[in-house]
C-alpha cells in the first residue's frame, strides 16, 4: 500500500541556512576593515547557501521521530517551486507505512464530545450492526417520520453528504424517502457483487428494467437504464415516485473495493469522485455499515476539499477524519482504509505517477530520480478543479 508522507512546519530558524551566520558582518573593527567581497565570491557563497538549504529540505522527514510525525502542511504555498519542494517531501516518504500506522493509532479511538444515541437505542431492529452507533445530533431526520441509520457529514463550508448503511429489507422505503426529501441526485454504492447478493441489495435497488413497490410511503422505484462504465463500475438511472413527487437519480455501484481493505484501483475512485461532484444536492455514500468504505470515501472528500482551499494554511488527514467522525462516528475502521486516503491524495498530486515513483525509489539514484519525476508530474493544485482527477 502506498502512503502519503508528512510535511512539518519549519520555523524561521530552520529555514535559515547554516552558512548564513558566517556571512554576517563582524562587529569588531579588524573584521570590518577587511577588503570588500568580490561579486564572484558572493556568487559562490550564494551557491553554497542554496546547496545547504536544499540538503536540509531533503532531510526533513528522516530526522524526526515517528512519535512526532504529522501528515500536515503548516504554511500557505507561495509559488510553484516551493510547492514542488513540499510535495517532494511527501513523495520521498510515500512508502512509509509505519508512519501511517502510527498516525492512525493516534486517531483511531477519537469520538466527538457530548454525543447521545437515544434514537439509535430505540430502533435497534433497524440497525444492520449492533455496534455501529448513529448519533442523535447528526442523524438524518425524515420529514414523513421513521428512523434511518444515516448521518450528515460536513465535507466543506458549502457541501454536505450523507453516509448510510446498506438498507435492511424493511427500511428500504425510508432510504428512498430520504433521497426524495433531500433532493439527492447522486448515490455511490461501495460494496462488492457478492455482498450485494448476500446482504439483500435487491430489496432496495430494483433489477434491470424492473420496479420495486413499497407499501410504506406508497413508493415506486424503477430502473430505466444500466451502463457499464468499467468492469467493476456500473451506473443505473433510477426513478423514484411518491404520489405526485417524482425524481431521477444516478446510482454508481463500485464493486472493486473489498470489505476492510484498500481499493483495488486508485484511478477508479478518482474517476468516481470526478463524476459524483457533477451532481447537485447532497451526495449519498452507501456501504455495509456506512462507516468503513463510505466513511473512508467521505474522509477522502474532506481532505481533498481542504487541500484546495484558497489559502492552504493548514492540512491534516487526522483532522479530516475527526471532521467526518463528528457526523459518522465509526468512519474509517482500520489502518488500511486510512492509508487509502493518503494514497489517493498522493495519486492526485503526482498526476497518476505513484507507480512510477515506486520504480524511481528502487533505482541507483532514487533522490535525484524522484526529484525529476516530481518536476515533471506535480500540478498546481489551484488549477485542477475541472480536471478528471480532481
Domain residue spans of the chain: 118-348
Contact 346, 2 (CB under 8 A): yes
> What are the cell numbers at 313?
494554511
**Residue 287: per-residue pLDDT:** 98
Closest CA to 250 of 270, 220, 278: 278
> What are the cell numbers at 346?
498522493
Taking the C-alpha atoms of residue 192 and residue 90, their distance in angstroms, rounded to an integer, is: 32
Confidence of residue 385 (pLDDT cuts 50, 70, 90): very low
DSSP E strands in the chain: the ranges are 72-73, 150-156, 159-165, 186-189, 211-214, 219-230, 233-242, 245-254, 283-287, 315-316
List, for residues 16-62, the tens digit of each pLDDT value: 334 333 334 344 444 444 455 555 555 555 555 555 545 444 443 44
Contact 239, 224 (CB under 8 A): yes
Mean pLDDT of 61-88: 49
Confidence of residue 243 (pLDDT cuts 50, 70, 90): confident
**Residue 311: per-residue pLDDT:** 59
235: DSSP letter? E
Radius of gyration (Cα) for the chain, nearest Å? Answer: 26
- Please, which residues bridge with residue 246 across strands? 241
pTM reported for the whole predicted model = 0.72
DSSP E strands in 231-275: the ranges are 233-242, 245-254
Contact 68, 101 (CB under 8 A): no
Average pLDDT, the chain: 76
Mean pLDDT of 340-360: 67
Taking the C-alpha atoms of residue 95 and residue 358, their distance in angstroms, rounded to an integer, is: 8
**Residue 321: per-residue pLDDT:** 97
Pick the CATH number of 118-348 from 3.90.79.10, 3.40.50.2000, 3.40.50.300, 3.90.190.10: 3.90.190.10
Amino acid at each position: 500500500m502506498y502512503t502519503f508522507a508528512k510535511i512539518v512546519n519549519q520555523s524561521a530558524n530552520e529555514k535559515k541556512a547554516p552558512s548564513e551566520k558566517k556571512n554576517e558582518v563582524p562587529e569588531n573593527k579588524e573584521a570590518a576593515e577587511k577588503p570588500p567581497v568580490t561579486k564572484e565570491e558572493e556568487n559562490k557563497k550564494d551557491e553554497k547557501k542554496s546547496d545547504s538549504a536544499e540538503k536540509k529540505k531533503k532531510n526533513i522527514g528522516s530526522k524526526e521521530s515517528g512519535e512526532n510525525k504529522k501528515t500536515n502542511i503548516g504554511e500557505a504555498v507561495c509559488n510553484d517551486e516551493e510547492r514542488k519542494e513540499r510535495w517532494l517531501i511527501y513523495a520521498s516518504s510515500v512508502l512509509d507505512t509505519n508512519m501511517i500506522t502510527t498516525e492512525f493509532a493516534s486517531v483511531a479511538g477519537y469520538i466527538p464530545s457530548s454525543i447521545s444515541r437515544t434514537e439509535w437505542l430505540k430502533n435497534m431492529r433497524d440497525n444492520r450492526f449492533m455496534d455501529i452507533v448513529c448519533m442523535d445530533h447528526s442523524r438524518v431526520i425524515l420529514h414523513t417520520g421513521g428512523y434511518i441509520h444515516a448521518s450528515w457529514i460536513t465535507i466543506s463550508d458549502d457541501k454536505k453528504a450523507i453516509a448510510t448503511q446498506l438498507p435492511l429489507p424493511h427500511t428500504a422505503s425510508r432510504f428512498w424517502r430520504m433521497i426524495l426529501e433531500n433532493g439527492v441526485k447522486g448515490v455511490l454504492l461501495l460494496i462488492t457483487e457478492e455482498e450485494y447478493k448476500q446482504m439483500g441489495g435487491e430489496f432496495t435497488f430494483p433489477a434491470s428494467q424492473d420496479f420495486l413497490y413499497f407499501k410504506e410511503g406508497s413508493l415506486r422505484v424503477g430502473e430505466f437504464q444500466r451502463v457499464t462504465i468499467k468492469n467493476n463500475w456500473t451506473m443505473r438511472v433510477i426513478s423514484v415516485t411518491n404520489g405526485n413527487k417524482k425524481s431521477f437519480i444516478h446510482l454508481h455501484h463500485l464493486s472493486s473495493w473489498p470489505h476492510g481493505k484498500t481499493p483495488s484501483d486508485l484511478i477508479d475512485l478518482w474517476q468516481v469522485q470526478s463524476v459524483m461532484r457533477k451532481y447537485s444536492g447532497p451526495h449519498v455514500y452507501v456501504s455495509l455499515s456506512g462507516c468503513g468504505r463510505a466513511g473512508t470515501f467521505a474522509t477522502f472528500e474532506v481532505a481533498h476539499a481542504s487541500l484546495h482551499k484558497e489559502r492552504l494554511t493548514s492540512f491534516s488527514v487526522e483532522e479530516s477524519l475527526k471532521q467526518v467522525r463528528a457526523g459518522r462516528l465509526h468512519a474509517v475502521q482500520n489502518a488500511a482504509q486510512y492509508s487509502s486516503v493518503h494514497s489517493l491524495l498522493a495519486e492526485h498530486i503526482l498526476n497518476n505517477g505513484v507507480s512510477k515513483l515506486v520504480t524511481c525509489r528502487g533505482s541507483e539514484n532514487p533522490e535525484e530520480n524522484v526529484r525529476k519525476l516530481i518536476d515533471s508530474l506535480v500540478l498546481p493544485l489551484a488549477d485542477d478543479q475541472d480536471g478528471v482527477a480532481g
